[in-house]
Amino acid sequence: MKKTAWSLCSMCSVRCPIKVEVEDNEVTWIEGNPKILKGALCAKGSAGTALRDDTERPQQPLIRKGPRGGGRWEPVTWEQAADYIADKLKGIIEKYGAKAIMLSDRGGPFPDLHKAFIHALGSPNYSNHDSGCGRNVHHASLSVYGLGRKDFVYDIKNSKHLVLFGRNILESLRIAEANQVLDMLDAGGRMTYVDVRQTITGLKATRFIQVRPGTDYALLLGLIHGLIKKEAYDKEFIEKYVTGFDELVKFIEPYTPEWAATECGIKPKAVNDFIAEIIQDMPKIVFHPGWMLARYRDSFYASRAIQILNVLCGNVEVKGGQIFAKGAGDCGKKGLKSLDAQIPKPTDPRADGVGTKYKHFDKGPGLFHLFYDVMKTGEPYPIKALFCYRHDPLNCFPDPEAQKAVLDNCDLLVSIDVHYSEFGWYSDVILPESMYLERESILAVAKGPSPRIQIRQKAVEPKFNTKPSWEIFKLLADKMGVGQRLPYNTIEELWNFQLEPTGYKIEDFNEKGFISLSDGPVMYDRNNLDGKFKTPSGKIEIISQKLTDAGLPSLKPYESPAKPEKGKFRLVFGRTAVNAHGHTINNPLLFELFPENSLWIHKREATKLGIEDGDWVDVISDGASGTLRATVTEFIHPEAVYTCHGFGRQIPAQTRAYGAGVSDSRLQTGLLMDMDVAGGGLNLCEKFVTVKRSSKNMKRRVEL
Amino acid sequence: MKKYTLHLNSKRCIGCHACEVHCKTNKKLPVGPILCEISHPPLKAAKGFPMTEFQFRSCYHCEDPSCVPVCPTGAMKKREDGIVYVDQEKCIGCLACISACPWSVPQFNPATGKVVKCDYCMDRVDSGLKPACVSKCTTYALKFVELKEI
């Protein structure tokens, strides 16, 4: 029997809308939703079928036997697994209270369900991966506009110039966005790319600036200086909507473009030419604030400086600039009913101190890594159970061994995931989720100029004894006696619950996989944006009231990043278009394309160390090391070495990925609590490593 | 007469290798054979900028293919529209075609024990669709071009 299902890809976190063709319960074709992506799909998206067929994923609930991480599992039924978890939780609640339970996910469009679950249990401790990802960007945006990073979209297609500071937009891939970039370039637009190494994005850029690692903020300050000195900024916009401009003018005085050029190790002409282009192109220019920006000690301030440039160019709510992401309310419609909103908020303060000790951070998910401190000290109160849903802290946060030592203070670790994650392998119970083609998810609104409600329909029946997350959380909630907080038994009941205020029906998704909430792009009146900025002053705050209240500067004086000691290199990391973090490395078809990572090292430095292209090299940080092959290139800054994130997996059940390549997280020893107190992000590029030619290289041939 | 060709707009290609996986999943190929390939010469500095360009290669569907006459069972065939393809029923997996092809385009499929090669997804083409690599190209960089005599 043939059928078509509308779904959302889940091979990475972008969740591109897809159309899935099915015959006799097998997927025959996946393509990008024709109405949105005209069929386009990336390599990961097509490899979804290989994930479905992959037997190297958990196939039924598993309870740990033997020590944590030992890899001995007892297959159990869902009932047994849920009873086991419920027993443990009840014990924890009795001893420490419900607040001792926490849950973390990977953000995205579906957290309403996860928040509802943890709040139904009575704990305020919902968190996600983002302090090792985009928190600096989010908090920078909040501090400037009072709006988060997802409250704006970038109208790249209609812009004249896209400026990217390490945002590798053509490899950390969002299909629709990548096509906007290429359309803009085809139409004669400009793209400036700033990074410490060449990438595919840099290849397509009209201007590529290779800076010394950690000096993005210097270049940004130089650009701001250039615009202000030339009085090239949108005076009317600033007059109307911005506070703190005078302080900025005073602050920026020493940071000339020439100073910036010296600091970044580039030619002054490159900076001045760049400034001239910015002036020509404003306001149709987008300075992208970054995505994964848990990198340098001043990344938060760099992201703020990017936003200040956007503001100076007056690109807010401008075609070709940044546009407010519109929701149902902006279209005169009612949004989806939230599960979480029906549940009384637990009254305990969050254990990570976000909202109490740290008032300038977004309380929503708080900051995951701070919970490690809580688990270690038991202050302000103990955390004894951790659920990770589709989140692998041991892969995405630094120093997994340090994390494991702290996790040992927990009485219960549960992984809910399609894959074996590094966390799952160390946990007590693995609850295997059905892979995305085998499950439905809750409905979600995709905000934007033309917002829509999206559906993930089940394309095929699960191959193994797995369940969708909506069912898993319901099962656990039932066992804990709070099942009524998740008021559904079937996915249709859940969807109908969500759709109730909207007036739409489940059938309304059948035609194209989504419901448009507007007939076309919704734009606010740019001359009347009062009330749109959610800062304490209601204005765009160059001097953030919240940062000032927290005793933090809004305009941080520049500090030059440390240079590596002799023989050491700054370890930087990134991505390619064929893999998404760690969880796709073991996919048979993606592994075939990219089986292990290598270490990029500058030719000059490699020569000094006697390293040739393709040699095995040992990368040594304090307390950890790894051996991988060298890629010797001229196109990386000599102070840095680079590797692709996600490799070096330590899960024997993933036979392909096991031990292939090196994990950058493992080398990032000592960085687990190295947080930017202003931005909340971790400083993952603040690790210096030693590199040497490995003894693994053959010196002579012994055998015939 | 050759009727079709695949053209890569290298300005739009981002070297994401999606076409290779689109092809493999459409043909249900296991790890091993890859029927089309994105590659690029090593980065080179041009006026101070590191540059390279992506290239796409699959079967050339030669006017006079060497793989067809060497096939002992007549499994390797050329259609009127120029598409060179393997009749899976007839292929015995002797690999003669692989040796005969100057570029070793045909490949062994360990799952079937037979040879597999790019046939422009002729089943799709025959039903008015485009080859998988083109239909799902991430950036619409690949085009399926119908050649016309001038």
pLDDT band per the 50, 70, 90 thresholds, residue B87: very high
A655 exposure class (CB count in 10 Å sphere: 0-12, 13-18, 19+) = exposed
Predicted confidence at residue B49, as pLDDT, reads: 80
**pLDDT, tens digit, 9 for 90 and up, residues A20-79:** 999 999 999 999 999 999 999 999 999 999 999 999 999 999 999 999 999 999 999 999
| Distance from the B139 Cα atom to the nearest Cα atom in chain A, whole angstroms | 6
Q: Given an 8 Å threshold on Cβ–Cβ distance, is A203 in contact with B11?
A: no
In chain A, the domains with their CATH numbers are 2-53 (2.20.25.90), 62-133+333-516 (3.40.50.740), 156-320 (3.40.228.10), 568-693 (2.40.40.20)
- Note whether A92 and A384 are within 8 A (CB): yes
Residue from the list A46, A170, A208 with its beta carbon closest to the beta carbon of B49: A208
Q: Given an 8 Å threshold on Cβ–Cβ distance, is B25 in contact with A30?
A: yes
Kind and range of the H or E run holding A478: helix A469-479
Q: How far apart are CA A497 and CA A79, in angstroms?
A: 26
Contacts of A697 (CB under 8 A, 6+ apart): A615, A616
3-state SS record for A626-643: EEEEEEEECCECCCEEEE
3-state SS record for B138-150: CCCCEEEEECCCC
What would the mean pLDDT of A675-688 be, rounded to a whole number?
96
Q: Given an 8 Å threshold on Cβ–Cβ distance, is A41 in contact with B11?
A: no
**pLDDT, tens digit, 9 for 90 and up, residues A553-592:** 999 999 999 999 999 999 999 999 999 888 999 999 999 9
Strand spans (E) along A369-519:
385-389, 412-417, 429-432, 444-446, 452-454, 514-516
Q: Given an 8 Å threshold on Cβ–Cβ distance, is B138 in contact with A171?
A: no
- Mutate: best of A28, A42, A49, A584, partner B, most B CBs <10 A: A42
Segments in chain B forming alpha helices (H): 18-26, 67-70, 96-100, 122-126, 132-135
Q: How many CA atoms lie within 13 A of B24 on its CB side?
A: 30
**pLDDT, tens digit, 9 for 90 and up, residues A353-397:** 999 999 999 999 999 999 999 999 999 999 999 999 999 999 999
A51 exposure class (CB count in 10 Å sphere: 0-12, 13-18, 19+) = buried
What would the mean pLDDT of A209-232 be, rounded to a whole number?
98
Predicted confidence at residue B59, as pLDDT, reads: 97
Q: Given an 8 Å threshold on Cβ–Cβ distance, is B21 in contact with A593?
A: yes
Residue from the list A200, A208, A635 with its beta carbon closest to the beta carbon of B14: A200
A627 exposure class (CB count in 10 Å sphere: 0-12, 13-18, 19+) = middle
Enumerate chain B positions whose Cβ falls within 8 A of a Cβ in A: 11-12, 14-18, 20-22, 24-26, 30-32, 34, 43, 45, 49-52, 135-140
Q: How many CA atoms lie within 13 A of B108 on its CB side?
A: 9
Q: Given an 8 Å threshold on Cβ–Cβ distance, is B52 in contact with A593?
A: no
Residue B42: which CATH number? 3.30.70.20
Q: Given an 8 Å threshold on Cβ–Cβ distance, is A38 in contact with B140?
A: yes
Residue from the list B25, B49, B138 with its beta carbon closest to the beta carbon of A178: B138
What would the mean pLDDT of A405-433 be, rounded to a whole number?
98
Quick count: other Cβ atoms within 10 Å of Cβ A279? 15
Q: What does chain A come to in residues?
A: 704
Strands B49-51 and B84-86: unpaired
Query: Residue B19 belongs to what domain range?
Result: 4-146
A54: left (phi over 0), alpha (psi -120 to 50) or beta: beta
Grouping H, G, I as helix, E, B as strand and the rest as coil, residue A277 is helix
Structural domains counted in chain B = 1
Residue from the list A38, A49, A198 with its beta carbon closest to the beta carbon of B25: A49
What average pLDDT does chain A have?
97
Q: How far apart are CA A384 and CA A101, in angstroms?
A: 6
Residues of chain B positioned with their CB less than 8 A from the CB of A589: 21, 24-25, 31
In chain B, pLDDT over 70 holds for what percent of residues?
Answer: 99
Predicted confidence at residue A643, as pLDDT, reads: 98
Residue from the list B22, B26, B139 with its beta carbon closest to the beta carbon of A179: B139
Largest CA distance in chain A: 81
Residue A608 predicted with pLDDT over 90: yes
Q: Given an 8 Å threshold on Cβ–Cβ distance, is B139 in contact with A593?
A: no
Q: How far is CA A289 from CA A148, A157, A233, A294, A679, in A?
A: 11, 17, 19, 12, 13
Residue A234 predicted with pLDDT over 90: yes
pLDDT band per the 50, 70, 90 thresholds, residue A494: very high
Buried b (16+ CB within 10 A) or exposed e, A608-620: ebebeeebbbbbb
Residue from the list B17, B25, B52 with its beta carbon closest to the beta carbon of A593: B17
List, edge to edge, every strand of the sheet that includes A429-432: A72-75, A62-65, A429-432, A412-417, A385-389, A101-105, A126-128
Predicted confidence at residue B47, as pLDDT, reads: 79
Residues of chain A positioned with their CB less than 8 A from the CB of B34: 592
Quick count: other Cβ atoms within 10 Å of Cβ A238? 18
Number of residue pairs across A and B with CB atoms under 8 Å?
A: 98
Residues of chain A positioned with their CB less than 8 A from the CB of B32: 592
- Note whether A366 and A111 are within 8 A (CB): no
| End-to-end Cα separation, chain A, in angstroms | 58
Predicted confidence at residue A329, as pLDDT, reads: 96
| Distance from the A1 Cα atom to the nearest Cα atom in chain B, whole angstroms | 18
- Note whether A427 and A410 are within 8 A (CB): no
